[in-house]
Structure 1
Amino acid sequence: MSDIDTNKADLARRSVLGVATAALGLGATAALLPSTASARGSAGADGIHPPPTPAIDTSHATPELARLISRVFEAKTSRHVDATLSYFYPKSTTYIDASLGWPIYSWDELHKLFAGLMPTWPATARSYPTKILGDTNSALVFFIDTPELFGHEIRPMGVINFKEGKIARWIDYWDGREFTLADMKAQRTPDEKFPTDFKESKVGETAKRSIKRVAHTISDALSGGAVKEAASLFSDDAVLEDQAVRTVVTGRLNIGAYLERAAAHLPYGAGAEVRHVVGGHLGGGYEWTRGSGAVRRGVTALELDGDGRISRYTSVWDGSLVSDDELSRLQALVIEH
């Protein structure tokens, strides 16, 4: 079966599940999966009783991945150190905050970090996913950390790789302006000490061929100025979102026109290269890097339709690295003339 046929089969299966759910009067589709323990108000994995969380968009994730990621966040929100770390690969764990430049290169280091942090979190603190993309080989998750955890609400994208069913690599990207410029300046690792090795070579490229092809094709097109080729990869009603610039463009033709004006100025445009790809037939994303400019790294999420076209393209990078004037210039590029 081809990648496109697999996409269509997976989406068709979700459509059938959605109809069945509606017929049962449950009031939700298969694409909006509440955390199992939260929905029941009863204990989840390891006897954990997490507080209720909003529904999760799992329309571009396998059911197995959706369950696994939900349990990870249930454990984290419940401030259960051992339960949280039970989902990480003990032989080789990498966690890096790509905005602050905080690297952790072992399971023991990560355990020590959570053991120090979690007891300080109040019962009202929550960390929960809002969207999950990919499969249990590699994935991308949108999530929210409420202000009780780190002093400010942040909305990262986590890039995840698995080994033997456990998380072996997790890289968080988020917009530093959510954290305030002063706190980012105080806590970000200096440029000369900022980590450059994000350990993607340790986990390898395990993303499905379909998502790798789309990721490399659109990145190469944007980097090289081939905007028409980039626009052709989108579905007719696609959405392009840049969370740092706070822009949303809807429709393939509008996206193409926007990229004509903006691609040369965006961090993931001219000069950007793919660092690492994650995800499955329905969606995932890619980390990208640049050799010059104020913004050197970020991540883009890709949601694919049944024909393998991009239905949603969402980029996250650290907006605190550029001036207010530069952000204003980037925002102005969305205006049609």
Structure 2
Amino acid sequence: MLSSGTSAQAAGALSPANPPLDRSHTTDGVVRRLVGLYAAKSRHDVEATTSHFHRPRLTYIDAAFNGYSPSWQPYHDYFAYVMPTWPASAVSYPTRIIGDSRSAVVMFTDTPGMFGNEMRVIAAMDFVDGKVTRQIDYSDGRHYGVAAAAAYRNPTPLPAQWGEQFVHSTPPRLLTRTLTALHDALTAAEADAVARLFTTEGIYEDRTLHLSVAGPLAIRRSLADVLRMLPCTQQTSVRHTVGSEQGGALERSNPGAQVDRDIIAVELDHQGSIQRLTTVCDGSFVSDADIRRMLATTIEP
């Protein structure tokens, strides 16, 4: 995270000694690369951490806190400044990786010692020559704390483009087909069309609403009303796609909306049906009453 704000919450809590990592929808090479990255970050090793990023062309953005680095050097300098202040309890570890050596989506956790509170992030990553050339971190500011998130957030607006203009890899056809159908169904608020994209045991997980639903029938019933209320659904456009035929993620943008950015990660079976969907947007911009109202609509009759 890169931000000009200050944390309003105290550090604490240790991570598990050997946190579980779901590698069922990725490749061994990407796993080795990213495990090495987060191990270096947990050691607070500036040079080893930043060596995993592409020096000639790097874009890093924290979508929840407006952190922005347009190149490798400021990214390096930020960690050189902040890492010496981290306590031993400050560690970072991936919990789920989806994709391949071209691009992937990574779910990871930063313990409170790093940035003042626990961070559970879904990151879209693109790679060039084995290095991260673009990383966009998405998380829910409510999980950080609404007041603390507001204090920590960089007041400088982010640029219109988030480095996607420098990425030239083409997502595989199977992933593109599924994500296009998913985006169209969500934008139209068609719960039936969303549910048909899932396997029989498919799971829909919304980290902002703390909602998890299993199976197409339950997904359809739970989403029937809430899709029309979600803050980043209507008139949303696709910013960027990452991943492989095993799954990936859709980054979306909705300028002017209450919440103008989100990410949707999917794991696919061999036919392109969704086995698991995980999405998050910044709920700190949504009122308590609206969160309750949305959750109330997901109760199955």
- TM-score normalised by L of structure 1: 0.82
SS at the partner of 1:255? Answer: helix
CA distance in 1, matches of 2:100, 2:47: 24
Q: Name which one, 1 or 2, has greater alpha-carbon Rg.
A: 1
Which of 79, 88, 103 matches 2:44?
79
Tell me which amino acid in the other structure corresponds to 2:26.
Answer: A
In the TM superposition, 1:43-192 aligns within 5 A as 52-190=17-155
Q: Which residue is equivalent to 1:35?
A: none
2:142 is the counterpart of 1:201:
no
Q: CA contact under 8 A between 1:222 and 1:268: conserved in structure 2?
A: no
CA gap 1:216/1:268 in 2 versus in 1, 3 angstroms: farther
CA distance in 1, matches of 2:171, 2:129: 15
Q: Which has the higher contact order (CA 8 A, sep 6+)?
A: 2
Tell me which amino acid in the other structure corresponds to 2:160.
Answer: T
Aligned-CA RMSD value:
1.6
More helix as a share of residues: 1
Identity %: 40
Question: What displacement does 1:320 show?
Answer: 0.2
Q: Which residue is equivalent to 1:47?
A: none
CA distance in 1, matches of 2:64, 2:218: 30
Question: What displacement does 1:70 show?
Answer: 0.5
CA distance in 1, matches of 2:248, 2:185: 18
Question: What displacement does 1:187 show?
Answer: 2.3
Which digits, 9 at most, give the CA deviation of each residue in 1:196-231, with x for residues without a partner? 321111113432221122112110121023432222
Q: CA contact under 8 A between 2:232 and 2:258: conserved in structure 1?
A: no
Question: What displacement does 1:130 show?
Answer: 0.5
Q: CA contact under 8 A between 2:102 and 2:169: conserved in structure 1?
A: no
Q: Which residue is equivalent to 2:278?
A: 314
CA distance in 2, matches of 1:169, 1:161: 5
Q: Which residue is equivalent to 1:252?
A: 216
Q: CA contact under 8 A between 1:101 and 1:195: conserved in structure 2?
A: no
Q: Which residue is equivalent to 1:328?
A: 292
Question: For this pair of structures, how many residues does the alignment match?
Answer: 287
Which digits, 9 at most, give the CA deviation of each residue in 1:294-315, with x for residues without a partner? 1000101101112210011111
CA distance in 1, matches of 2:18, 2:262: 27
CA gap 1:259/1:336 in 2 versus in 1, 3 angstroms: same
Q: CA contact under 8 A between 1:219 and 1:268: conserved in structure 2?
A: no
Question: What displacement does 1:55 show?
Answer: 2.3
Question: What displacement does 1:268 show?
Answer: 4.3
CA distance in 1, matches of 2:233, 2:128: 32
CA distance in 2, matches of 1:179, 1:250: 27
List structure 1 runs of 4+ shifted beyond 4 angstroms: none
SS at the partner of 2:162? Answer: coil
Which of 200, 225, 231 matches 1:236?
200
The runs of 5 or more residues in structure 1 that have no matched partner are: 1-50
CA distance in 1, matches of 2:117, 2:189: 37
Q: Which residue is equivalent to 1:264?
A: 228
CA distance in 2, matches of 1:207, 1:86: 26
Q: CA contact under 8 A between 2:232 and 2:260: conserved in structure 1?
A: no
- TM-score normalised by L of structure 2: 0.91
Question: What displacement does 1:189 show?
Answer: 3.2
SS at the partner of 1:103? Answer: strand
Question: What displacement does 1:236 show?
Answer: 1.1
